[in-house]
Chain A
Amino acid sequence: ILNVEQSPQSLHVQEGDSTNFTCSFPSSNFYALHWYRWETAKSPEALFVMTLNGDEKKKGRISATLNTKEGYSYLYIKGSQPEDSATYLCAFTGSARQLTFGSGTQLTVLP
């Protein structure tokens, strides 16, 4: 059984604050690490896929880093806005090639 852990489980921040959350995953048999954004009543949407140790990806105010040796990834949001409120999921792909999702971090940005 693969353990993909995300922390914190939920988070409330004020508009304009920067924040980050963590995804930890098995460091062996690593193939890829994905981040998805899931808004209430919608489908999960892909943010990033990272495959190489040290990878950093950025999309607007959101960025992510990857450390495959120690098995963690960070997602950063700079200057949070209310529209960033969503559940952020990470997913690990190992040798089995299917995605194993964490339980997500539920972010609420207060205006």
Chain B
Amino acid sequence: NAGVMQNPRHLVRRRGQEARLRCSPMKGHSHVYWYRQLPEEGLKFMVYLQKENIIDESGMPKERFSAEFPKEGPSILRIQQVVRGDSAAYFCASSPPNQLSSGANVLTFGAGSRLTVL
């Protein structure tokens, strides 16, 4: 039973290029969360998705960042026209569906994708 799979583990981009980070949730999990860890900082919430639906994107920068979780395939975090300040570790987590709500669900984290912008 594979855990949360993220790829690539490391990604190097030049300023102005696009970065695409992928996340496959654990089997049976339908909720996906993206978190960003900037250097010397903690995990900051970015976006929470269910299949084909963005539930909460309050942590996403307004420009250049987007996320999707299609019916088939992994969740993708896309960063357009990257800048040096986007250099960070991006963590994906997933949780199972919960009939009552998702707030008490335990998150299973992936190993993270480390983006370096030159």
Contact = CB atoms under 8 A, between A and B. Distances in A.
A103 B38 CA distance: 11
A43 B103 contact: no
Interface in B29-46: 33, 35, 41-45
Contact of A43 (B48, B58, B59, B109): B109
B25 interface: no
Nearest to A92: B103
B91 interface: yes
Contacts of A103: 41-42
A32 B107 contact: no
Contacts of B108: 46
A89 B38 CA distance: 16
B43 A32 contact: no
Given A43-B111, A98-B48, A101-B35, A34 B106 contact: yes
Contact of B107 (A99, A102, A104): A99
Contacts of B101: 31, 97
Interface string B94-118: 0000000111111111111000000
B56 interface: yes
A57 B92 CA distance: 26
Interface string A62-77: 0000000000000000
Nearest to B6: A43
Interface string A14-53: 0000000000000000011010100000111110010100
A80 interface: no
Given A32-B103, A49-B106, A93-B104, A43 B91 contact: yes
28 contacts: A31-B101, A31-B103, A31-B104, A32-B104, A43-B4, A43-B109, A43-B110, A44-B43, A44-B93, A44-B109, A46-B106, A46-B108, A49-B105, A89-B43, A96-B58, A97-B55, A97-B101, A97-B102, A97-B103, A98-B45, A98-B48, A98-B103, A99-B45, A101-B35, A101-B42, A101-B43, A103-B42, A104-B42
A-B pairs, top 4 by smallest CB distance, nearest first, are A103-B42, A93-B103, A43-B109, A31-B103
